[in-house]
């Protein structure tokens, strides 16, 4: 269990107690931090990972720490069959309730995919590399959203949150990632427009440099360089991402939908 920030010790946001929350990629980084904040608020949390062992470990840890019901769900979100099975298990566990879906699962950041310019890719690499990233970041979110909507619509209530990135708004590098994350924002906007009348809010986060995942692969010098991209002069933390997630999921954000909340330390000042 990560050290719980004192700022969140007394966290209690309206609308989250007893809410059923599914977080894909919920056992590491910002997803894991969000799971802890939702549990602190009294939510019932379903944790997804591709690894059954990791999902079970994280679920047991979360239940022990916060005493809330927790469901481990092993599934690869890029597989529509596995997503269907995951949501069937969730529906049985929650009696067909789902208030919050956080689409946090993402294709791991790979140096070669990040650094290689488009014109240097072979035709086969263009097909394979872009498909790999899109299958998780975009198609996985689409599969999960469709299944989540079927559970949310009968209750006329729900919140879906997509995790995108600032390159989706401004461009950067790593074209396979940028393309998938930008398409994710298009999906968010369509769903927010189509399902708002049913009481379902759909939003996204556009993340800048967050100290998790690929952060650990960087040299100390590169970490310092990237920290200085932000006017705040540092990396963001998974807890700060998690705080934005639980805010958008809560009733405090009840009049917010179709919005991309930028969490980047001030790089994109919009």
94, 159, 181, 212: the active-site residue: 181
Structure tokens belonging to residue 102: 């956080």
Burial readout 119-140 (b: 16 or more C-beta within 10 A, e: otherwise): eebeeeeeeebbebbbbbbbbb
Type and span of the H or E element at 158: strand 158-165
Any catalytic annotation for residue 223?
no
pTM of the model: 0.94
Which of 35, 21, 13, 41 minimizes the C-alpha distance to 158?
21
The string of DSSP codes covering 77-145 is TT-HHHHHHHHHHHHHHHTS---EEEE---PPP-HHHHHS-GGGS-HHHHHHHHHHHHIIIIIIHHHHH
Q: Which two tokens stand for residue 262?
A: 């930028």
Of the residues 145, 165, 192, 250, which is catalytic?
165
Closest Cα to residue 166, out of 204, 197, 137, 196?
Answer: 204
Tokens matching residue 199: 């009481």
Please give the Cα distance from 170 to 175 (Å, whole number).
Answer: 12
pLDDT of residue 104: 97
From residue 192, how far is each of 21, 144, 147, 149 by CA, in Å? 19, 15, 16, 11
Q: Tens place of pLDDT for every residue, the chain, 270 residues?
A: 566 677 666 677 777 999 999 999 999 999 999 999 999 999 999 999 999 999 999 999 999 999 999 999 999 999 999 999 999 999 999 999 999 999 999 988 877 877 888 888 889 988 999 999 999 999 999 999 999 999 999 999 999 999 999 999 998 877 889 999 999 999 999 999 999 999 999 999 999 989 887 767 777 888 888 888 899 999 899 999 999 999 999 999 999 999 999 999 999 986
pLDDT for position 222: 82
**CATH 3.40.50.720 assigned to 13-261:** yes
Please confirm, yes or no, whether 164 is among the known catalytic residues.
no
Distances (CA, A) of 66 to 44, 58, 69, 95, 144: 10, 12, 9, 22, 26
| Closest listed residue to residue 88, CA positions, set 152, 148, 137 | 148
Whether 94 is a known active-site residue: answer no
Q: Per the residue annotation, which of 164, 177, 192, 250 is the catalytic one?
A: 177
């Amino acid at each position: 269990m990560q050290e719980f920030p004192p700022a969140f010790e007394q966290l209690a946001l309206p609308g989250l107690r007893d809410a059923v929350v599914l977080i894909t990629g919920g056992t590491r980084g910002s997803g894991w931090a969000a799971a802890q904040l939702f549990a602190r608020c009294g939510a019932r949390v379903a944790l997804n990972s591709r690894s059954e062992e990791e999902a079970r470990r994280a679920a047991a840890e979360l239940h022990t720490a916060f005493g809330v019901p927790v469901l481990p769900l092993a599934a690869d979100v890029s597989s529509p069959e596995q997503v269907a099975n995951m949501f069937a298990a969730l529906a049985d566990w929650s009696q067909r309730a789902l208030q919050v879906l956080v689409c946090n699962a993402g294709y791991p950041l790979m140096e070669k995919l990040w650094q290689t310019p488009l014109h240097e890719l072979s035709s086969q690499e263009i097909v394979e590399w872009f498909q790999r990233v899109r299958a998780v970041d975009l198609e996985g979110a689409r599969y999960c959203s469709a299944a989540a909507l079927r559970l949310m619509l009968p209750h006329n209530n729900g919140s879906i949150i997509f995790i995108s990135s600032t390159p989706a708004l401004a461009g950067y590098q790593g074209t396979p990632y940028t393309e998938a994350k930008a398409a994710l924002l298009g999906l968010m906007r369509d769903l927010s427009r189509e399902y708002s009348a049913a009481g379902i809010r759909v939003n996204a986060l556009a993340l800048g440099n967050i100290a998790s995942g690929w952060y650990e692969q960087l040299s100390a010098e590169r970490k310092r360089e990237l920290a200085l991209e932000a006017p705040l002069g540092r990396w963001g933390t998974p807890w700060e991402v998690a705080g934005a997630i639980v805010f958008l999921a809560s009733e405090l954000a009840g009049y917010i939908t179709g919005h991309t909340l930028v969490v980047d330390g001030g790089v994109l000042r919009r």
